[in-house]
Amino acid sequence: MSDAAQLGEFDLIDKIQSRLKRRSARIKLGIGDDCAVIDAPGNHYEIVTTDALIESVHFDLSTTAPRQLGRKSQSVNISDIAAMGGTPHTAFLTLGIPPKLPARFLDQFFLGFNERCREYKIELAGGDTVSSPKHLFINVTLLGQVKKNRLFTRDGARPGDRIFVTGSLGDSALGLKILQSPEKKWAASAKNRAELIKAHVDPTPRLRESRILAQSKLRVTSMIDVSDGLAQDLHHLCRRGNLGARLDQDKLPKSKAMEKVCQTNNLNPLPLILSGGEDYELLFTLKSEDVKKLLRRFHEINTPLALIGEVTAKSGEIFLQRNDGSKELLKRDSGFDHFRSFRKKRIDRNRKGRL
């Protein structure tokens, strides 16, 4: 009999989904996208997302400050609302608290959590508080609204559509690497180091950019936020339409900090960019005729945006066009999977190393 580790996160979700028989007409979109979409009167849908952060899987208390954790627990959910073109409004917070957690920790956690609520006009409306035998457990459920005719989903890309990503990729994964190896002397300036670590511990969700896309007439055909890594999340965009994609290596966006730190530490940035994960950037496809208009709009708001490739009709074939002209096929399970997680192994290895 197979266990969870053998199945993997995405096959497990498929299994849950395939067992659902009935679906109410009120649910416009159920399992499978960044948010569930629920019908509502008027011209808006209600959208809902939920995300858990678990100590020793998503964060380590020795490297994460409680205030940042409070902020991040909201940010990762805001990012899912942004991925649908929505605006968040109401949150529910569940905490599983180990008995030894200092009260000071919770004060700082709420300081960060409330900062994010204020910044994004989100109101905390409920939740649950339970004890957890060992590890801190945080779950946020976030509700939002989206205009019915400007809902972006993972479904809808067509061959020939261009693929875009906001900001830069791999910073969070490199920030985590730096955090997890304090004994290693990274050849990196304090500024570069701080920038990469911030990308991991306190990411900024791309809500502003998503609002701009939603308020425009640009023909965005599909969208997702990059949480599992570019390669894997691109598979999510291609999957239901039986599509493939070409990614151009020379177009993949790197921050100056990542470029510099990889160079001086003799590190290959490509695996971090393709499958590092937790970037919380927007990955979307657009009709080719709208490319110029989109680039102009993002230039005006000063947000970096990269045209990284094109959607193809070759089902499941997502390949990287390398700088040397060769092609590399990128597998669906190349990113972060909770049950085959390389990151968790790294945390565990690191912890053993410290004992």
Q: Which helix (H) or strand (E) is 103 found in, with range?
A: helix 103-119
Name which position in 225, 228, 281, 310 contacts Mg ion (CB under 5 A).
Answer: 225
CB proximity list for 179: less than 8 A, separation 6 or greater: 60, 63, 197, 200, 201
By CB under 6 A, which span of 25-33, 182-190, 203-211, 322-330 interacts with ligand ADP? Answer: 25-33
Q: Which of 34, 195, 228, 281 binds Mg ion (CB under 5 A)?
A: 34
Pairing of strands 44-54, 282-286: unpaired
* Choice between 63 and 222, CB closer to Mg ion: 222
- Site residue total, ligand ADP (CB under 6 A): 10
Smallest gap from Cβ 143 to Mg ion, in A, equals 15
Residue among 67 and 154 whose Cβ is closer to ligand ADP: 154
Distance of CA 54 to the CA centre of its chain: 16
Judged by beta carbon distances under 5 to 8 A according to partner kind, the member of ligand ADP, Mg ion, none in contact with residue 13 is ligand ADP
**In this complex, which beta carbon is closest to Mg ion, that of residue 34 or of residue 55?**
34
Distance from C-alpha of 45 to C-alpha of 63, rounded to nearest angstrom: 39
Task: Select from Mg ion, ligand ADP, none the partner in contact with residue 278, using the beta carbon and a kind-dependent cut-off of 5 to 8 Å.
Answer: none
> Does residue number 233 form part of the binding site for Mg ion (CB under 5 A)?
no
Per CB under 6 A, the list member of 13, 125, 187, 301 interacting with ligand ADP is 13
33 binds Mg ion (CB under 5 A): no
Residue 225 Cα distances to 108, 182, 289, angstroms: 27, 30, 23
Q: How far is the CB of 156 from Mg ion (least distance, A)?
A: 16
Binding to ligand ADP (CB under 6 A) within 192-251 occurs at 227-228
Residue 353 corresponds to which amino acid? G
Piece of 27-35, 93-101, 191-199, 310-318 that binds Mg ion (CB under 5 A): 27-35
| 258 contacts 272 by C-beta, under 8 angstroms | yes
Whether the Cβ atoms of residue 261 and residue 191 lie closer than 8 Å to each other: no
The residues, any chain, with a CB within 8 Å of residue 189's CB and separated by 6 or more, are 260
Stretch that binds Mg ion, among 10-18, 28-36, 120-128, 170-178 (CB under 5 A): 28-36
Residue 167 to residue 282: CA distance in whole angstroms: 8
Cβ atoms of residues 78 and 141 within 8 Å: no
Nearest to 227 by CA among 47, 32, 48, 83: 83
Q: Least distance (Å) from Mg ion to the CB of residue 108?
A: 26
33 binds, among ligand ADP, Mg ion, none (CB under 5 to 8 A by kind): ligand ADP
80 near Mg ion (CB under 5 A): yes
Q: Could you identify the residue written with the tokens 């985590």?
A: 176
Q: State the distance between the two ends of the chain, measured CA to CA, in whole angstroms.
A: 35
Interface residue with ligand ADP, options 58, 66, 67, 80 (CB under 6 A)? 80
- Closer to Mg ion by CB, 50 or 56: give it: 50
Stretch that binds Mg ion, among 39-47, 201-209, 222-230, 316-324 (CB under 5 A): 222-230
Pinpoint the alpha helices (H) of 145-186. 171-180
Alpha helices in 19-92 (DSSP H): 66-83
**Binding positions for ligand ADP, rule: CB under 6 A:** 13, 16, 31-34, 51, 80, 227-228
